[in-house]
Each structure stands twice: as structure tokens, then as C-alpha cells.
Structure 1
């Protein structure tokens, strides 16, 4: 190889090295840009996730509030007719809506509580539901099992349960009756008892 050829080879290698260095620099620059873009996308995604979580929480609160309002509406709708039933059918002297008690770390809320202190000496616990579900039966059973310990002033009374619902399937109605509870259902905006003539309620 002549000196000229060697010089040309060295020159071409130097040029190639510079081009390679430029390519590496360009590649590194693109990697950095891509990394920045990915980080920005990550920040945007995280921001959207937080915003979505916030919106879902707010929606949950709104739905929960709507459920409470609808429940309160149902209880308010039931109260006049249930008061009439409790006084005329069962001779109750006191009818109280939305009774809450807290004792020894145990809390209980009763939609309607009615009782009589005379010779009748009985109390009725009414559970009001817009759409009756199976768990309402066990819920009322649980309420009645705790009732006398949370209301010692009624410990000598015979206590009965009533489930009043706007919407109730016939199958669930039968389960309520089998559990020994009175059933009330709405007709023309008024609740009325739907218990067979031979029905015997379970005393607690």
C-alpha cells in the first residue's frame, strides 16, 4: 500500500468515525426525546387517572346520596299508612320513625318503631325497603335479636317484625312470611298488610 493510499484510508476512516459519532449523538438525542415524551405521557396518564378516581369518588357520593334520598322518600311514603296500621290493627300507642340507638359500641337504626305500654305490652319493628332483597330478612332478624339489649325499657314486651316494601317478588314475600314477619306492600301510594288469615307472627 502506497503512502497516498494509506493517507486516503486513514482519511476515510476518520470521516467514517465522525459520521458514526454523529449517528450515535443523533440516536442518543432521539432516545432522550423519546424518554422525555414517555415521561410526559406517564405524567398525563397519572393525571388522568387521578382525575378519573376523583370523578368516580364524586359519582359514588352522588349515587350514595341519591340512594339515601330515595330511601328517606320511601320511609316517608310508608309512615302515614304504617302509622294507621300500627294504631288501628295492632293498637300501638307510640309510633316513632327513624329511631337510632348506640350502646356499648353497638349501633342500630330502626325505620319505624311502635309500642304500647298497656295490657298489650308489645312492640313492632318496621323495616322499610324500596326494593326488597333477601338480606333484608336477616337484617330484621339481627335487629330483633339485639332489640331488648339495646332497649331495656322494652325488655318485658313481646316484639314483632314487619317488612314493608314498594317492590317485592312473591317468592320473597313468602320467605318473609316463613320467617314470621308481617308483610306490607304499597298499593295506590298506600301501604297495606298482606298476610294470610292463618298467619302467626313469630314473637321475639
Structure 2
């Protein structure tokens, strides 16, 4: 009887040893698979980072195009809707204490300022940011202009009709591209080839 129990115990130990060996092999395969997955995820993360940078670059370029277009259209304006203009600036960045902001285009005279926010495509949050952030920040950052009337404008290549209506209801100027406005910088120095 003792022999049977001993044989049974030996058999169980052998099976346990085989199971342990199989488990070690399985764990080794699992670790290798995890290492491969980690390497693939790292490659995927790197690709996503590059893609995000490219998309961000496209978005920034579109914004730059819109800013340049509207700057060229507004920088030499002497009057806008009855408001005489003496000065124009673009990309004005200012910080005072905890308040910091950048203004795409500023047009002003001795008694009025027009803050122009330019976007390639205008979204609803752009209008609320103009009203709730840009105008109050301008007042904080330019205390010397606190006695000026502050006007706001949204400028964009693409502005959905409902946002045009919302901007008008808010009392904003709305600037859109119209037609084929083209400026020839070197008209007096053209050559035929």
C-alpha cells in the first residue's frame, strides 16, 4: 500500500514538474510577445507623434494664411465703417501679471480700438472666446486704452451662416474673403521670359 501511494506521489510530482516546465515556457513566450507588442506600440506612438505634428503644421499654416490675407486687407485702411484709423499692428503679444494674450490684428485711433481675431474656419468657441476672453484681457493688458471704445471683429475664410448671424447679434464686425482680391507687389518690374 505504501508503494502505491509512493508511486502516486512520484507520478504527481512528475506531472507537477512537467506542468511547471510548460508554465515557464508559456511565460517565456508571453514575455517575448509582450516585448514585441511594446516595440510595436512604441513605433505606433512615434508615427502618431509625427502625424500630429504634420496635422498641427497644416492647421498652423492655414491660420497663418488667414492672418496674412486679412492683415494685407486691413493694414492700410484709413477708415472702417465710419471709424477713422490711425494705426495697425499684427500679432501683438502682451503679458501683465497672470494675464497674457495675443491679438491677431489691432486697428486703432485716439478713441477707438478694433480687435480682429482671424481664423481659417470660424467655430462657435471662437466667438465666445473673443467676447469672454479677448476683450476683457485687452482691457487688463492695455490700461492706457481703457477710455477707448472697443470694437471686435471675427475674420475668416469660412464662417457658417449661423455664426455670421451670432457675430452680428454680438455686435462684432464680420470679415470674409470676397472674390479674387489680388495684390501685385511688383507691378512696375515685370519681365517677359
- The TM-score, its normalising length taken from structure 2, stands at 0.80
- Other-structure match for 2:117: 127
Aligned residues: CA RMSD: 2.7
- Other-structure match for 1:102: 95
Distance verdict in 2 for CA 1:158–1:32, change over 3 Å: same
The equivalent position to 2:166 in structure 1, one of 166, 175, 180, is 175
**Structure whose CA Rg is larger:** 1
Larger deviation: 104-113 or 152-161?
Answer: 152-161
User: What runs of 5+ residues in structure 1 fail to find an aligned partner?
Assistant: 1-9, 192-204
1:163 paired with 2:154, answer: yes
CA distance in 1: counterparts of 2:127 and 2:10, whole angstroms: 84
- The TM-score, its normalising length taken from structure 1, stands at 0.76
- Other-structure match for 1:116: 109
Deviations 1:133-172 (A, max 9, x none): 1111111112112212211221221110111111112111
Is the Cα contact below 8 Å between 1:133 and 1:172 reproduced in 2? yes
The equivalent position to 2:175 in structure 1, one of 174, 181, 184, is 184
Instruction: Count residues in correspondence.
Output: 180
1:68 paired with 2:60, answer: yes
- Other-structure match for 2:126: 136
